[in-house]
Chain A
Amino acid sequence: MKDKNEPNISAQIGEADTWLDKGKTLIRQNKLAALSALIILLIILAAVFAPVVAPYDHLQQSLTDRLKDPSAAHLLGTDELGRDVLSRIIFGARISLTIGLVPTLISMAIGTILGLFAGFYGGKTDFAIMRLADVMLAFPSLLLAMVVMYTMGGGLINIFIALSLVNWASTARIVRAQTLSLKEKEFVEAAKSVGVKKHVIMFRHILPNCLPSLIVLFTLNIPSAILSEASLSFLGIGAQPPSASWGLMAVRGKKYLFSEPWLSIAPSVAIMIVVLAFNFLGDGLRDVLDPYLKEQ
């Protein structure tokens, strides 16, 4: 932790940290974040190669193998339809990761563009966009997603849409704030004074400077999207059977909580591990990349 009380030593040394330095700092200072990155990589690999990695077909039912305790044959036991829980969790990673990545990317793209416009143009544009963001932020995100799910019905595709629409507002706020401060910087003034077009200034000069914050934000938004999907599916208004969504597995296992607790606990632990890994990584990235976001 650097102390602002001291004159900035790196300024005295006269060398800014490069991206490589930042990477090294991350690994050295925050072993947990580095470990998390490794875990995320492994989970991604497992999800991509699920058919190879998983010991069984995740949809294969077997009435003779119902509700088996964890054993060598079924490491995490079997569910009420005799499906192998471990295989379902491995296939479930596909759903969680896609839900974590794609809607987050879409909602952040929307938020970034709206935030850029609001900050750059100010005035009425700013007012309109930010009041809209206020409205979005006023909703508890789960309730809002629930409303969208009510209108469009359950299912993974609709979760995609719901989560893409719901989460843009916080990104918009942060990008707007950064745009406002960057707009006053000399390099933007300079670009303006030589007549660079507005959209070029926005996307070539301002946006790249928001990138560190956006990367951190992305890493931290992924776990909340994963949690939202799990929660919606747990409430029965998200993924529908026989999908191997972790939230859905947890709620279906809830019936057997007192006899076969692993049925609901195992997928919950899977969610926790993924979410924890992304949160640790995001925290680590933030410490290294982005002093700005800490103030949020």
Chain B
Amino acid sequence: MNEQLLQANSNAHEANTELVLDIRNLKSHFFTAKGVVPAVDGVSIQVPPGKIIGIVGESGCGKSMTAMSVMGLLRYPGKIVGGSIILSGKEITHIRPKELAKIRGNEISMIFQEPMTSLNPVYPIGHQVREAILLHQKISKEEAKNRVIDIFRAVGIPEPQKRYYSFPHQLSGGLRQRVMIGMAMVCRPKVMIADEPTTALDVTIEAQILRLMKKLCEEQGTSIILITHNMGVVAEICDYVYVMYAGKVMEQAETFTLFEKNSHPYTQGLLKSIPKLDEKTDRLYTIDGVVPNLLHLPEGCSFCTRCSQAQKRCFSEKPYLYETGQNHGVRCFQYESGVHLDGK
């Protein structure tokens, strides 16, 4: 870890804030039959307390893999091969399963994209949430049950006493996701990772769930890492945004900055492809091409094959993440004058 990087890390956010989660140069690779897939390739993310951090990108860009790595949920053939994950000052990258189990669901929790299948179909939902409490706290079952009913009320589940005994198939997708949020929040974790929590839900429900997450986050001081592909969602609730592409962070900035001064050609493309009601266009904007095969990434910048502003150099040399302003980093040669934010 060189000094420059430490400098950069402390520059990333207000220097006096203790980070609650600090992911440094994380690398997670998948060892498949066809070769090594660098799904997460040197990602650094800083999460201050009580903030909502967005990670955006197309599917397959490594955002879910980053989350799974942090939770220690990567399974064979995936493996963390480098970097470190520091949760409130404690290194958790390679801790023993027993220690990891104590942290999961307690200090750091996660909700998933698929509310329909994320709950065990053969147990009542109340028991499933209660289990999360009993695993981490020494309280009686009765007490735990009351806590579950409280959290059910807090996440807006109607008739929580009765619902306690419901089975997952008796609930709608929105309600199930509320149960999942309840389960994730019930131990008052420091960080909650939400992996596309609203993708499978109706648009009307989406807004409710997002508002609920934001409210709980503010009440309990929990930080949220929100993974999404939806720029609208980011604009609505995130404080800080990381744009990922092919396993790398392409741009990071405060939400307002990103929407005002989006600097990376990829971010520009993403923002342009949001349809706008007040503009009259014949066609929706799209970024040409598809996410590259992670096994055969271009030699240079991983975005060069789809970039409208690509120079000759972009095809042969990899750009660093350059600092272009307060809390703002861009991985593009156009901003080469800035300080390197990653430690290569």
Q: Do chains A and B touch in the complex (CB under 8 A)?
A: yes
Instruction: Select A3's contact among B33, B75, B291, B293, beta carbons within 8 Å.
Output: B75
Say whether B76 contacts A15, CB under 8 Å.
no
A13 and B293 contact, Cβ closer than 8 Å, known pairs A7-B60, A7-B64 = yes
Q: Is the C-beta of B74 less than 8 angstroms from some C-beta in chain A?
A: yes
Chain A residues whose C-beta falls within 8 Å of the C-beta of B76 in the assembled complex: 1, 3
Question: Is A186 an interface residue, CB under 8 A from the partner?
Answer: no
Report if A71 contacts B (CB, 8 A). no
Contact of B295 among A5, A13, A24 (CB under 8 A): A13
User: In the assembled complex, how far is the CB of residue B23 from the closest CB belonging to chain A, in whole angstroms?
Assistant: 19
* B32 adjacent to chain A (CB < 8 Å): yes
B139 at the interface (CB under 8 A from A): no
Let me know if A10 and B32 touch, CB within 8 A: yes
B73–A9 contact, CB under 8 A?
Answer: no
Say whether A15 contacts B34, CB under 8 Å. yes
- CA of A165 to CA of B76, assembled, Å: 45
Please report B residues at the A interface, Cβ cutoff 8 Å.
30, 32-34, 37, 39, 59-60, 64-65, 68, 73-78, 290-291, 293-295
CB of A295 closer than 8 Å to a CB of B:
no
Q: Could you tell me the distance in whole angstroms from the C-beta of B5 to the nearest C-beta in chain A?
A: 29
- The residues of A that contact B77 with a CB separation of less than 8 Å are 9
- Minimum Cβ distance to chain B for residue A183 (Å): 24
Could you say which of A3, A5, A9, A28 contacts B32, with CB atoms under 8 Å apart? A9
Report the Cα distance A28→B30, complex, angstroms: 18
Task: Determine the residue in chain B with the shortest Cβ distance to A1.
Answer: B76
- Between A and B, 30 residue pairs with Cβ closer than 8 Å are A3-B75, A3-B76, A5-B68, A5-B75, A6-B30, A6-B68, A6-B74, A6-B75, A6-B78, A7-B60, A7-B64, A7-B65, A9-B30, A9-B32, A9-B37, A9-B39, A9-B77, A9-B78, A10-B34, A11-B60, A12-B37, A12-B39, A13-B32, A13-B293, A13-B294, A13-B295, A14-B293, A15-B34, A25-B33, A28-B33
Main secondary structure, interface of B, reads loop
Known interface pairs A6-B68, A21-B33, A25-B33; A12-B75 also in contact (CB < 8 Å): no
**Closest residue on chain B to residue A9 by CB atoms:** B30
In the bound assembly, the distance between CA atoms of A21 and B34 in angstroms comes to: 9
The smallest C-beta distance from A13 to any residue of chain B, in angstroms, reads 5
Closest residue of chain A to B64 (Cβ to Cβ) is A7
Q: Given the complex, which residues of B lie within 8 Å of A12, measured CB to CB?
A: 37, 39, 60, 291, 294
11 new A-B contacts at CB < 8 Å, known A12-B291, A13-B293, A15-B293: A6-B30, A6-B65, A6-B74, A6-B78, A9-B39, A9-B78, A10-B32, A10-B34, A11-B60, A12-B37, A14-B293
A219-B249 Cα distance, complex, nearest whole Å: 49
Shortest distance between the CB of A295 and any CB in chain B (Å): 15
Assembled-state Cα–Cα distance A136/B291 (Å): 52
Q: A25 — which chain B residues lie within 8 A by C-beta?
A: 33
* Cα of A29 to Cα of B149 in the assembled complex, Å: 48
Q: Looking across the interface, which residue of chain B has its beta carbon closest to that of A2?
A: B77
Closest partner residue, chain A, to B112 (CB atom): A5
Q: How far is the CA of A177 from the CA of B75 in the complex (A)?
A: 31
CB of A7 within 8 A of CB of B73, answer no
